Structure 1
Amino acid sequence: MTGRAIFEGRPEPLGATFDGEGVNFAVFSEHARRVTLCLFSPDGRTEMQRLDLPERDGDVWHGYIPGLRPGQLYGLRADGPYAPAEGHRFNYHKLLLDPYAKRLTRHPVWHDALMGYAVGSPDADLSFDRRDSARFMPRCVVEDPSFAWGPDQPPRRPIAETVIYEAHVKGLTRLHPDVAHRGSFLGLASDPVLDHLQSLGITALELLPVQAFLNDRFLLEKGLVNYWGYQTLGFFAPDPRYLAKGQIAEFQHMVARMHAAGIEVILDVVYNHTGEGNEMGPTLSFRGLDNRSYYRLQENPRHYVNDTGTGNTLNVNHPMVLRMVMDSLRYWVEVMHVDGFRFDLGASLGRRARGGFDRSASFFDAVRQDPVLTRVKLIAEPWDIGPGGYQLGAFPPPFLEWNDQYRDGIRRFWRGDDHQVPELAGRMAGSARQFDHSGRPATASVNFLTAHDGFTLMDLVSHAEKHNDANGEENRDGHSQNFSDNMGVEGASDDPAILDARARRRRNLLATLLLSQGTPMLLGGDELGNSQGGNNNAYCQDNEIGWVQWQGADPAFLDFTRRLIAFRRAHPVLRQKRFLHSRPRLTDGLPDLFWLRPDGGQMTSADWGDPSLRVICAELRMAAGTPGYAQREEAMFLVFNNGDAQDVVLPDPPQGWRWRLHLDTSRPDLAPQAVGAKRLAVDGQSVLAFDLEQGDQDD
């Protein structure tokens, strides 16, 4: 490659932008003295040329190179003060990733030269390392992200119709016997995966992080890897490990295939921190470009605010860092066509400069006024480890929130803990205590029993304790409070009684989830009976522990899951936007929700306070105030029995109607059947669901 000339260019858009005749480069750095563009040979081995970006507008450095084409490999260097005590960590010897890079060639190769300081020096991070890190760094790639989308249209499913399926790109596909390009976006887009999701009734696929991320050094030294992906390095680039052919079009192809199947794609995104860690971490991108701007620093700016537990916290209060986050989100919607985001440690995004959470913080205000982002689904993980970091229910609309209190309350009810009937009732009715304010709908609660972080559904009923020894931390990592139950035997068992009890418990848990108000989320593989052997923190297990096991799947439970989702889809009364508060309705004066004892009487204060109560019944209708509810009237009668077998008295149906039993978890193959009797024998450890159908009780 002959020497290239660089011209002034433009300060926007940020990143490397091909315009058909050349490439414009624009990089933010408030405190650098110069920013240098490094061009590499096609194989990435040789740094062919260094070109200082010639112009600076405000804090954006920029330049334009005519004749440069997509596929060009590049990196950055930034010159400025190396003064950790002042928050500056510039080191011109370190090759840096462009924060706006659309593709990376590979992952960093761990070497001490990646550090801005001299490893082993008695001055620690106050020392300075002069080794060039380019040999160990990936290259950024100039991309033209245009894609022949054809008739692609986002499904834009209403929240009330949404059933989320959380999955890992590699974990879901790696062991599937009929998938080509297993472990990649192309594998995810294959017919067998699409057919499976469609047959389940899934409407939204929520993917664990797919933005380029770092393999932690301490994991590689133990023969492990960062499997989940919560160490982001590039907020615009798909992770190279999921690109079977090295093209970002593979991700776009996957999204187009999902949309054609009626399935939305939601990305789990990590804008609360980066993979560079604390002051003893590597200099890979943000730290070397402008440490003081990109990160929240302590009063002593040598050290980082660590509200995320990862060593650093991204400074979204800085306008240019916030701009990067917003540009990234819009890129994934407008260019990659995704349908929503789940924000990891979302409380960190709502922290003001002094550290307190504020639902009117700049990030929330920016998102809520954005015409692109307000049309996609936004889901928060409503906590971090900072002061006052637990914020369930505090996020502004239109955010939905992961509801860990739903998870724990339902688990404890079915485990048989005391005082859990009121908890079950509150969670099943949409967790109004947390969410019924500010015009938020009942669907704001994302209800889940299992997720990537924790036990699978099978392990939840097979293990009383976590078994994380394979993680190399002497079983100290992962949650210890799992509210799980092994049903009498720890781990795998061939005892028919144990297996039957576990299968019924799984049916009860899943039935409760899909009969609850709110937005349900399933963990990918639970419908198959997937197990991680009791590992409840498989973040580093890129192997059979973390991968979904398709061979030996439980066909009966898979069929049961399909029928449950179809049942929910067929009955709007189970997925209402308005909260049920037992208020009389104008049309008939009936409350929209009754809580009943098995004998048919309404629950009293004494009943609610009974610590040994194990059964409750609910009669529910469309909520008072629901538009048009009289035209689509329906009622549902539900029984949740974690006690012994007993008789249950059914409510009197309206004249000309009768109850029809659709679901009995003690008889999973039961076909829907009319119930003429007033009193019905109900097995212990079961969930029943009835709806109304026209017909006399005596038919």
Structure 2
Amino acid sequence: MASAAEQEAVSEHALERAVPPVWPGAPTPLGARCRVGPGGVTGTNFALWAGGAEAVELCLFDADGTETRLRLTELTHEIWHGFVPGVGPGQRYGYRVHGRWDPWTGARWNPAKLLLDPYARAVDGDFAALPPEAYGHVRDWPQQHVADTVRDERDSAPHVPKGVVVHDDDDWADDRRPKTPWQDSVIYELHVKGFTKQHPDIPEHLRGTYAGLAHPAAIDHLVRLGVTAVELLPVHQFAHEDHLLRRGLRNYWGYNSIGYFAPHAGYSSSGTTGEQVGEFKRMVRALHAAGIEVILDVVYNHTAEAGELGPTLSLKGIDNRGYYRLQSDARRYADYTGCGNTLHVVQPQVLRLITDSLRYWVTEMGVDGFRFDLAAALARSFHDVDMLSPFLAVIAQDPVLRRVKLIAEPWDVGNGGYQVGAFPPLWTEWNDRYRDAVRDFWRGALPDVRDLGYRLSGSSDLYAWGGRRPYASVNFVTAHDGFTLRDLVTYERKHNEANGEGNRDGTHDNRSWNCGTEGETDDPAIRGLRLRQQRNLLTTLLLSTGVPMLVAGDEMGRTQGGNNNAYCQDNEIGWLDWSLPDDPGRAQLLALTRRLLALRHRHPVLRRRAFFSGRPQGADGLRDLAWFTAEGNEMTERDWYAPTATLGLYLSGRDIPGRDARGEQITDDSFLAVLHAGHRPLDFRLPGPPWGESYELLVDTARDDQSAPPATRHPGGGTLTVGARSVVLLRVRE
């Protein structure tokens, strides 16, 4: 019988043999990629950029959580890499990165913390808790002024999610991207979970998931509505902020990214060890088959690691100074986002991370474009916003990215961060000046209609430069951030008590009007007025030149109970209510939205690809765009400066810029829209010849029944009674 020492030696030898070897591998591509190695051996190549690190350990995890640590010894151009034979799809992994702990100089390496691979294509687990072990520093250090400077030696691996190796050889040969031109686009902003969580026609186990959004019942609503693209609130893997977890809340919107290649695991119905990748792709395919593009709202300006008091989950522990903008006091973070940190996009490795991620979502996940959260932060070269910054320059020349839809949220919270109208060609922008002007007009707060005229006609004062077009303006009245459309006409004050911050969070600048009573009411007059105001706002949006963006549920009168910052409300406050049959007013609102979108799709004059000239066309002197007073006269300069609650907008369909598929000049009907925000009915004189022999009434928001057009005729030169606070749209008839 072998001695105890001999048995121990045999056990150690067996353990040593159980540890897989690490071959040199390759420094590219970054991340974990399955491939065939030397001698035809299959395995996974791991590559991690960690510029200032002293050593890197690859950590592999079995199903029971057992960890195997493998030292990566190959270092090429600051990339640590190795090939591990036998490792394949579904393997859970992370990294431990060794280096100096010196927060005063920005060095925050701590090998006790398991780090998520920035290039991980799937993440298993959820950041449902952030215990002290998830922090690189000792959180409960008694001296608060140096709390972040004492290194925490506890192991974080049992408490944090792991990356997952994913094998992907999908060539998308069976997919047909819609490729809708910008001028024809209608964007529908939605939350993957909230859109389907309460949908009665979707199986319960699919609600709130990628598969739920791909379900025929969800897609049928989008198709019947008439939108051309869905803009998904963040679907990159994200974490929940510690201050929310302590209050029993969670991050619902997802603007707290930690994995730029991984679809958020919480939206998967099929599993989280790589299955979420395939489920996301099937969702994209289903939307494409219905003619709907997929745009992602992406958050590359900051990460979930927050500031110096935040957790150490990935980049902070890989190379804090290499990934984040630091202040002159390198212990502190430069914060242009209001979220504690800002990615240092000027650094080549950060720029590479972002562009690699973007290309991945286009080429391998099938998406059609991106909306960049706080895009001004990405355009900062060093401190100031620079439209010649490396980020914008790289996007402009990239053969993949310059061909997809690019939308900027053109501001951040730093000095000089407001950049509406300043982004270069290729980019469109969220136009908050459109939002403010339209809201102010319908609540009676505009001193005159000069600004409104610009917004309705494509915002040429902002975008008519550098070859930009009217579709550079993404027009919106509401967005995920702020009041819903219904709440905009129901509340004048925010009601964010459910967020647990004493109603201090969220903006005070809502530009809303409650129609006389704060909150919900049974008063039929107020309820009727609120429905009319919702119809007015939607009609104005969908008749304006530019790209309209609707927020999911606004077409059905969705409410958040006055909460204008529902980022942490993963419940009925944030989810869509699909109980349309119970409310005829909401059903009529949906009917009007469908009619307006169908009208917009049929008539190119409502979605122009070039700015109006305002110059006469032909011998009769008609212009492509004309403005009229209530007396039926063309507006003079004096009229633009005069207080008024009424504006007439004439759109000529004669010789619209551009040609159709046969190369012929595009022509269309002409239209007259009358916007009247006054509290009394108005007699509006319709312009006579040559503007119009007669007019056919198509839309009247003063009517409660919006299921069919009024279809009445009115002579040019005659008078049309426009209801109080309403919009009418008329088609010119010869």
TM-score bracket relative to the smaller structure: over 0.9
The answer to whether the 8 Å contact 2:654/2:669 transfers is no
Q: Tell me the matched-pair count.
A: 690
| Counterpart in the other structure of 1:118 | 138
Structure 1: 5+ residue stretches without partners: 695-699
| Counterpart in the other structure of 2:712 | 673
2:624 is the counterpart of 1:608: no
Select which of 158, 165, 185 maps to 1:162: 185
Which deviations, in whole Å up to 9, do the C-alpha atoms of 1:236-295 show, x marking residues without a partner? 001110011121111000000000000001000000000000001111100000000100
| Counterpart in the other structure of 1:213 | 238
Cα separation, 2, equivalents of 1:588 and 1:319: 59
Secondary structure of residue in 2 paired with 1:425: helix
Cα separation, 2, equivalents of 1:206 and 1:273: 20
Secondary structure of residue in 2 paired with 1:489: coil
Which letter maps to 1:683?
Answer: G
Which letter maps to 2:569?
Answer: Q
Deviates more, 1:649-658 or 1:662-671: 649-658
Deviates more, 1:76-85 or 1:625-634: 625-634
2:637 is the counterpart of 1:618: no
| Counterpart in the other structure of 1:578 | 610
Which letter maps to 2:673?
Answer: L
Which letter maps to 2:504?
Answer: R
The 3 A distance-change label for structure 1 pair 367 and 591 is same
Select which of 676, 689, 692 maps to 2:732: 692
The 3 A distance-change label for structure 1 pair 601 and 588 is closer
TM-score, normalising length from structure 1?
Answer: 0.96
The answer to whether the 8 Å contact 2:138/2:152 transfers is yes
The answer to whether the 8 Å contact 1:583/1:624 transfers is no
| Counterpart in the other structure of 2:202 | 179
Which letter maps to 2:669?
Answer: E
2:382 is the counterpart of 1:344: no
Which letter maps to 1:171?
Answer: G
Which letter maps to 2:27?
Answer: P
2:703 is the counterpart of 1:683: no
Cα separation, 1, equivalents of 2:611 and 2:654: 7
Deviates more, 1:486-495 or 1:224-233: 486-495
Cα separation, 1, equivalents of 2:448 and 2:321: 48
Output the aligned Cα RMSD.
Answer: 1.7
The answer to whether the 8 Å contact 2:437/2:446 transfers is no
The answer to whether the 8 Å contact 1:576/1:622 transfers is no
The equivalences for 1:193-208 within 5 A come to: 193-208=218-233
Select which of 463, 467, 472 maps to 2:500: 472
Distance apart, 1:426 and its partner CA: 1.2
Cα separation, 1, equivalents of 2:726 and 2:115: 58
The 3 A distance-change label for structure 1 pair 631 and 97 is closer
Cα separation, 2, equivalents of 1:513 and 1:292: 45
The 3 A distance-change label for structure 1 pair 676 and 584 is closer
Distance apart, 1:327 and its partner CA: 0.3
Cα separation, 1, equivalents of 2:242 and 2:341: 16
TM-score, normalising length from structure 2?
Answer: 0.92
| Counterpart in the other structure of 2:12 | none
Select which of 53, 58, 62 maps to 1:41: 62
The 3 A distance-change label for structure 1 pair 113 and 623 is farther
Cα separation, 1, equivalents of 2:716 and 2:23: 85
Provide the identity percentage: 49
The 3 A distance-change label for structure 1 pair 587 and 634 is farther
Distance apart, 1:591 and its partner CA: 2.1
2:680 is the counterpart of 1:661: no
Deviates more, 1:264-273 or 1:586-595: 586-595
Max Rg structure:
2
Distance apart, 1:574 and its partner CA: 1.1
2:282 is the counterpart of 1:263: no
Cα separation, 2, equivalents of 1:162 and 1:168: 19
| Counterpart in the other structure of 1:569 | 601
The answer to whether the 8 Å contact 2:411/2:419 transfers is yes
Which deviations, in whole Å up to 9, do the C-alpha atoms of 1:454-475 show, x marking residues without a partner? 0000101111111000001111
| Counterpart in the other structure of 2:562 | 534
Cα separation, 2, equivalents of 1:638 and 1:41: 66
Cα separation, 2, equivalents of 1:145 and 1:251: 13
Which letter maps to 1:144?
Answer: H
The answer to whether the 8 Å contact 2:178/2:288 transfers is yes
The answer to whether the 8 Å contact 1:584/1:624 transfers is no
The answer to whether the 8 Å contact 1:162/1:519 transfers is yes
2:84 is the counterpart of 1:65: yes
| Counterpart in the other structure of 2:9 | none
Secondary structure of residue in 2 paired with 1:31: coil
2:35 is the counterpart of 1:19: yes
Select which of 105, 124, 141 maps to 2:124: 105
The 3 A distance-change label for structure 1 pair 662 and 288 is same
The equivalences for 1:26-425 within 5 A come to: 26-43=47-64, 45-47=65-67, 49-108=68-127, 109-121=129-141, 122=143, 123-147=146-170, 149-180=172-203, 181-246=206-271, 247=275, 248-353=277-382, 355-425=383-453
Secondary structure of residue in 2 paired with 1:19: strand
The 3 A distance-change label for structure 1 pair 631 and 523 is closer
Which letter maps to 1:591?
Answer: R
Distance apart, 1:672 and its partner CA: 2.6
Distance apart, 1:664 and its partner CA: 1.1
Cα separation, 2, equivalents of 1:687 and 1:8: 69
The 3 A distance-change label for structure 1 pair 294 and 656 is closer
Distance apart, 1:588 and its partner CA: 6.2
Which deviations, in whole Å up to 9, do the C-alpha atoms of 1:153-179 show, x marking residues without a partner? 110000111110001011111111111
2:598 is the counterpart of 1:598: no
